[in-house]
Structure 1
Amino acid sequence: MEEDLQLLKQGAEAKVYKCTYLGLPCIVKERFQKNYRHPDLDACITKERIRNEARAIARCKSVGVKTPCLYLVDFDRRRIYMEHFTHSISVKDVLISLKSELKDEIDVPAVSKNVAVMIGAAVRRLHDSNMIHGDLTTSNMLLVPRYLKDKKEFRWHDYSELELSLIDFGLSYVESKAEDKGVDLYVLERALISTHNDYPDIFNEIMLGYTRKGEAEVAETLAKFKEVQARGRKRTMVG
């Protein structure tokens, strides 16, 4: 398997590879050692973060939030092996594409709104189960086909044939407090503003999906989000 690993990207905390595991397309997330930490402390922190991420993925499955399937958790090599959606596209790339070469071929507002509602519904299911993602960005959201017999059938702009999958739970944790859920929404809003300012209404459309199951049940979370939002704006104004 070692020879089969192909590096896809490297972040501040981990390297991500693709390979084949037991004949299946696989993504491997490997957390590398931080040399500035004592080796024993680093091993302890890394093991706990791997455990939390694996638990988060399993918890998502239990509450109906689509994520890659877990294949293997290897603490000794600091790795998580999980399903690789070979036919998928990130929401970030979808929104960028909608504003570029494909914008004249499809109904841009309809696609962006429906994708946004899918995002809101997924985040609501997370929060209803007291899960905080911690890094809600459009890079950590994939559109994957519900059914696929042929690669040519994958049409990312046909949202009726797609599901939203959340990925990268490295910063996730379990918390029932409305404050944490409000911060989760604020992180998403700031990510959208910085990356997708061509879509001024997209966060409001996401909130349509978030409140679709009922707004009263998340009233405290929405109130906390407004508080966090106000604090953020104040810091921006003050500098």
Structure 2
Amino acid sequence: MCENLQMLKQGAEAKLYICNYLGKPTLIKERFKKNYRHPDLDTAITKERIKNEARSIVRAKVAGVKTPALYLVDFERRRIYMEHFEHSITVKDFIINVFTEDQNTEDGQSTFDSIATKIGETVRKLHDSNIIHGDLTTSNMLLVPKNNSEQNNTDWYQIDNIDIVMIDFGLSHIDTSAEDKGVDLYVLERAVISTHNDYPDLFWKILDAYKSYNINNTNEIISKFEEVRARGRKRTMVG
């Protein structure tokens, strides 16, 4: 059923495999068993997290956010089979390994600003559908060519030719609270600061796009974000 299975990487919560499933490039996410938990409890928790992840992916797609297509959810084997984007690059790797060469050019800055805008609008779409991602980092955002053609030249990632695809909804949940959305933004801010400290304005460009995309409920969400930031700074200072 799944041909040419290969391990892609292993994380803290799951192993990732790639294969061909029903003739399509497929990513398999297989969650670990946690031996420190009672087996019944571990099964129940894992099943709930797999359900939350699959539900968030589908809900995000309905909201107009590009996500991997779901092919199969296998609770017995703790697996989710989903679309694998063979020709893609994470936003993190793009900024670190590609953008640095073009950052001082007009086209490079335009691409940078456009990506920040796309991120902000995408996160806002998630929040407007009450999807809390839980792990907003530039590693969990892919730049994917719209025509899914091979990366046979250096122009495939030009801004008019790419989509941002959100991945790894393993910590996601559905919630209407402005507090949770503020925490989501704070997680993104910390991730951007720690990973892209050479670009101190990146997060604020993202946040400007987030606020501009939809003005409804924005003040409450940003207010909660500022409260979470203040608590975070206080914990950092106190230790």
Unaligned runs of 5+ residues in structure 1 are none
Query: How far is the alpha carbon of 1:157 from its aligned partner?
Result: 3.8
Provide the rounded CA distance (Å) in 2 between the counterparts of 1:130 and 1:208. 19
Q: CA RMSD in A?
A: 1.8
Other structure's SS at 1:27 match: strand
The question of whether the paired residues in 2 share the 8 Å contact of 1:97 and 1:103 is answered with no
Partner of 2:230: 230
Provide the rounded CA distance (Å) in 2 between the counterparts of 1:159 and 1:99. 12
Provide the rounded CA distance (Å) in 1 between the counterparts of 2:212 and 2:236. 31
Partner of 2:217: 217
Provide the rounded CA distance (Å) in 2 between the counterparts of 1:93 and 1:102. 14
Give deviations 1:176-229, integer Å, cap 9, x for gaps.
010000000000000011110011000111012212223353110000001111
Unaligned runs of 5+ residues in structure 2 are none
Give deviations 1:45-86, integer Å, cap 9, x for gaps.
111111111111110111101000000000111000000011
Identical positions, percent: 61
The 1:161/1:63 distance shift into structure 2, 3 A limit, reads same
Other structure's SS at 2:19 match: strand
Give deviations 1:139-165, integer Å, cap 9, x for gaps.
000011111445426735411111101
Q: Aligned letter for 2:139?
A: S
Query: How far is the alpha carbon of 1:108 from its aligned partner?
Result: 3.0
Q: Aligned letter for 1:212?
A: S
Provide the rounded CA distance (Å) in 2 between the counterparts of 1:110 and 1:102. 10
Q: Aligned letter for 1:74?
A: D
Other structure's SS at 2:188 match: helix
The 1:2/1:162 distance shift into structure 2, 3 A limit, reads closer
2:21 aligned with 1:24: no
Partner of 2:42: 42
Query: How far is the alpha carbon of 1:236 from its aligned partner?
Result: 1.2
Other structure's SS at 1:152 match: coil
TM-score, normalising length from structure 2?
Answer: 0.94
The 1:231/1:82 distance shift into structure 2, 3 A limit, reads same
Paired positions, count: 239
2:170 aligned with 1:188: no
TM-score, normalising length from structure 1?
Answer: 0.94
Partner of 2:121: 121
Provide the rounded CA distance (Å) in 1 between the counterparts of 2:154 and 2:144. 8
